[in-house]
Structure 1
Amino acid sequence: MGPCSATAAPPPVPAILPDDLVGRCRFPSPGTAVTCAVSGGADSLALLVLAVHAGCDVTAVHVDHGLRAESAGEADVVADAAARFGAAFRAARVEVAPGPNLEARARAARRSVLPPDALTGHTADDQAETILLNLLRGSGRDGLSGMPDDGRHPLLRIRRSETRALCDALELQPVDDPTNADRRYRRNRVRHELLPLLASIAERDVVPVLVRQGALLGEEAALLDSLAAAIDVTDAKALAAAPPALARRAVRRWLQQASPYPPDAATVERVLGVARLDATGCDVGGGARVRRSGGRLVLEQTN
Structure 2
Amino acid sequence: MIPELLARCTIPPAGTAVDCAVSGGPDSLALLVLAAEAGCRVTAWHVDHGLREGSAAEADVVAEAAARWNADFEARKAPCDPGPNLEARARAARYAVLPEGVLTGHTADDQAETVLLNFVRGSGPDGLAGIDPARRPLLALRRHETRELCNHLGLEPVQDPSNLNPAHRRNRVRHELLPLLCDIADRDVVPIIARSAGLMGGVRDLLNELAAAIDPTDAKAVAQAPEPLAQMALRRWIQRETGAEHPPDAAAIERVMAVVQNEARSTEVGGGWRVTRSSQRLGLER
TM class by shorter-chain length? over 0.9
CA distance in 2: counterparts of 1:108 and 1:89, whole angstroms: 21
The within-5 A match list for 1:210-229 is 210-229=193-212
Q: Answer yes or no: is the 8 Å Cα contact 1:97–1:105 preserved in 2.
A: no
Q: Which residue of 1 aligns with 2:107?
A: 123
Q: 1:115, CA displacement in angstroms?
A: 2.7
Which residue of structure 2 lines up, in the alignment, with residue 5 of structure 1? none
Alignment of 1:121-200 (within 5 A): 121-150=105-134, 152-200=135-183
Counterpart AA for 1:162: E
Q: Which runs of 5+ in 1 are unaligned?
A: 1-16
Give 1:253 shift.
2.0
Superposed CA deviations along residues 127-179 of structure 1, whole A, max 9, x for unmatched, are 000011111111112211111122x1111000001100110111111001000
Moved more, 129-138 or 226-235: 226-235
Give the aligned length: 284
* Structure 2 partner of 1:106: 90
Q: Identity, % of aligned pairs?
A: 62
Mapping for residues 1-150 of structure 1, pairs under 5 Å: 17=1, 19-96=3-80, 100-150=84-134
Query: Is the contact between residue 51 and residue 81 of structure 2 (CA under 8 Å) also seen in structure 1?
Result: no
Judging by fraction of residues, say which structure has more helix: 2
Q: CA deviation at 1:238?
A: 0.8
- For 2:256 and 2:200, locate their aligned partners in 1 and report how far apart those are by CA, in whole Å: 24
Contact 2:273 2:284 in 1 (8 A): yes
Q: Scaled by the length of structure 1, what TM-score is found? A: 0.89
In structure 2, relative to structure 1, the CA distance for the partners of 1:112 and 1:210 (3 Å cut) is: same
Instruction: Give CA deviations for 1:264-299 in whole Å, capped at 9, x if unaligned.
Output: 101112222222223333322234333334533233
Structure 2 counterpart of 1:279, one-letter code: A
Match among 253, 273, 278 for residue 263 of structure 2: 278
Query: Which AA in structure 2 matches 1:296?
Result: R
Q: How much has 1:51 moved relative to structure 2?
A: 1.1
Structure 1 34/292 Cα, relative in aligned 2: closer, same or farther at 3 Å?
Answer: farther
Q: TM-score, normalised by structure 2?
A: 0.94
Q: Which residue of 1 aligns with 2:276?
A: 291
Deviation at 1:221, TM superposition (A): 1.8
Pair 1:293–1:89, CA change in 2 (3 A)? farther
5+ unaligned residues in a row in structure 2: which ranges? Answer: none
Letter in 1 for 2:236: R
Q: 2:112–2:193: 8 Å Cα contact kept in structure 1?
A: yes
Check the 8 A contact 2:66/2:73 in 1, yes or no: yes
d(CA) in 1 for partners of 2:191 and 2:101?
26
**What residue is the counterpart of 2:222 in the other structure?**
239
CA-CA distance at 1:98 after TM superposition: 7.1
Report the RMSD for the aligned CA atoms in angstroms: 1.7
| 3-state DSSP of counterpart to 1:131 | helix
